[in-house]
Amino acid sequence: MAEELAAKKALRRGHRSSTTRTLGQVDVAISSKPLDISKISQLKRSLEDKLRCLSTLDEEILLLTPEDTIEEEVITADEYKERIYIALSKLGQVDSASVRIDAGPRGSSTPPVTSRS
């Protein structure tokens, strides 16, 4: 059981390291001009995948964690997930704003046609 717990924690460390690198790219992507919507979508999808993976690992680790350290595990996992949720929120706001900008006024994707007199 101790070996399995250690292996799962090592795997989670690897995923967290990768996630931290991705989190670092979020502010760069949302502040770049012009916005690279493709990059923003890719980062959002990547963070969603990482969140699912880390959540699964956190649950598996909790099942193997000694009772006296469960609270610490939960707090640490929640703090890390909060960083991911914040980044996803930022990406979602930028993605939504870009869709509104692309759609133009009143949701129209094409400019209004005016007659010439």
Q: What is the pLDDT of residues 47-89, one digit of tens each?
A: 999 999 999 999 999 999 999 999 999 999 999 999 999 999 9
Which CA distances in Å does 69 have to 14, 45, 62, 74, 76? 21, 32, 9, 9, 11
Q: Which residues contact 72 (CB under 8 A, 6 or more apart)?
A: none
- What's the pLDDT at 115? 46
**What pTM does this model have?**
0.79
Q: Which residue segments constitute the domains of the chain, with CATH numbers given?
A: 2-100 (1.20.58)
Question: In percent, how much of the chain has pLDDT > 70?
Answer: 83
- Which DSSP symbol is given to 111? P
Q: Which residues contact 56 (CB under 8 A, 6 or more apart)?
A: none
- pLDDT higher than 80, residue 99: no
The pLDDT of 100-111, averaged and rounded, is 49
